[in-house]
Amino acid sequence: MINEKALFCKINNPQDAADKESPIAKKHVPVIEVPQVVNAGEYFDAKIKVGEVEHVSENEHFIQWIEFYIGNVYLGRYDFAPVMTKPEVTVSLKLSHSGLDSTLRAISRCNLHGLWEGATQIKSK
Ligand SMILES: [Fe+2]
């Protein structure tokens, strides 16, 4: 059972959450779609959406923002207002170095349920 107040005390990360299959995790963990292998120095599209199951976008309950990183390197952020936006973005990114495995991380914030992290590996050649 998830203690909802405790959600605000940390970044909720599906890697260490026993509850990753829980309904609340499925609505909040960012899902990232990228090519498995990309060419270093060339832009590729990364699609980031919040939740395997669509999160609501209502005045009382909504996703406030998504930030994204390669490892711990900050790349960007999108802010959302409720009702008229869907917390889903496609952004063009490029990796500078070849032969590296890079982790693309996305962190979202729900006004009621706190911070949630999703991640995926990208290989560059
Ligand atoms: Fe939420």
Query: What is the per-residue pLDDT across 30-62, written as a single tens digit (0 to 9) for each?
Result: 999 999 899 999 999 999 999 999 999 999 999
- Strand pairing class (63-70; 73-79): antiparallel
Distance of CA 27 from the midpoint of ligand 1 (Å): 7
pLDDT score at 1: 55
Distance of CA 17 from the midpoint of ligand 1 (Å): 17
Distance of CA 28 from the midpoint of ligand 1 (Å): 6
Distance of CA 78 from the midpoint of ligand 1 (Å): 17
Distance of CA 102 from the midpoint of ligand 1 (Å): 28
Domain that holds residue 24: 4-124
- DSSP helix/strand/coil, 9: helix
The CATH number given to whatever domain includes residue 82 is 2.60.40.730
Q: Which of 4-13, 26-35, 45-54, 92-101 has the lowest mean pLDDT?
A: 4-13
User: Is residue 2 predicted with pLDDT exceeding 80?
Assistant: no
pLDDT interval class at 96 (50, 70, 90):
confident
Q: What is the number of structural domains in the chain?
A: 1
